[in-house]
Amino acid sequence: MNPSPPLKLYHELAPWFHLLTAPEDYVEEAEFYRKTIVSLSDGTPVTMLELGSGGGNNASHLKAHFQLTLVDLSPDMLDISRQLNPECEHVQGDMRLVRLDKQFDAVFIHDAIMYMTSEEELRQAIETAYFHCRPGGVTLLAPDHVSETFQPSTEHGGHDSTDRGIRYLDWTWDPDPDDTNYISEMVYLLKDEQGDVQIEHDHHRMGLFPRHTWLTLMAEVGFDARSIPFDHSEFEPGSLEVFVGHKISGKKPKL
């Protein structure tokens, strides 16, 4: 289990999340995930489980195509996703352990998969995805980085509403290339309704694994797994990839 303190962004700062990263910024990538899942599924997928659904940004677009069940560890994040996606089912749970009583045509884990910081945690999340994926269905994992293409970076961004605004700086590097983690130090400047600015900081410890580890774990759990280039106008071709697992009907997992 992750011993790091709870991240402010997903708890007391959750009401600021959609100003940090806005639902409208996810149109293109949500469409890539939809098309990829549909093209690899046996039959037309109708139901989808998202693990680590956060603010529900991808869900706000995917819900036009799928019946969504959204699982997140943080009750505060579930609250803001419920405001954006009231028609979706929301469930509090840990992607390593949660067991719902149904299977889905598709399982999706977006950037929340980066919080799996050891191979054991990553395997647990993949087992959860396999458990909930129906035979013939597809699981799509969309990590921010794999070891082979990881580059240290500094990014900034943020949005304004009519009365509030946020700007953030995200400084990412890998202190020890021999372990399975990298660091993202995030600083948030939060401007409230009175124009007063508060500064907050989170230390995000994220997982970093070679492509081989992703594919091996997915295959060991039971998926027919492959890596697919992430196709998005804002990223260099070949700089990002997603992992897709097809749950073969009748195949027994090597759990």
Ligand X SMILES: C[S@@+](CC[C@H](N)C(=O)[O-])C[C@H]1O[C@@H](n2cnc3c(N)ncnc32)[C@H](O)[C@@H]1O
Which residues of the chain form contacts with ligand X (CB under 6 A)?
A: 10, 51-58, 72-74, 77, 94-96, 110-112, 115
Question: Among residues 41 and 128, whose Cβ is nearest to ligand X?
Answer: 128
SS3 at position 204: strand
Residue least distant from ligand X (Cβ) = 54
Between 76 and 220, name the residue whose CB sits nearer to ligand X.
76
Cα first-last separation, the chain? 20
CA distances from 237 to 30, 36, 153, 162, 241 (A): 17, 16, 17, 36, 9
Angle at 42 between CA 39 and CA 46, to 5 degrees: 80
Task: Return the number of the residue (94 or 170) whose C-beta is nearest ligand X.
Answer: 94
Which CB, 48 or 197, lies closer to ligand X? 48
The DSSP annotation for 57-83 comes to TTHHHHTTTSEEEEEES-HHHHHHHHH
For residue 185, the minimal CB distance to ligand X (Å) is 15
- Lookup: tokens for 27: 């149109």
Let me know: does 223 contact 139? Beta carbons within 8 Å: yes
The token duo for 9 is: 């962004």
- 227 three-class SS: strand
With beta carbons less than 8 A apart as the criterion, state whether 36 and 140 touch: yes
243: which DSSP letter? E
Contact between 84 and 18 under an 8 Å Cβ cutoff? The reply is yes
Nearer to ligand X, 11 or 224 (CB): 11
Smallest distance, ligand X to C-beta of residue 237, A? 22
- The answer to whether residues 50 and 69 touch, using CB atoms and an 8 Å cutoff, is yes
The one-letter amino acid at 169: L
How many angstroms from the chain centroid is the CA of residue 102? 21
- The nearer residue to ligand X, 100 or 248, going by C-beta atoms, is 100
Residue number, 6 or 135, with CB nearest to ligand X: 6
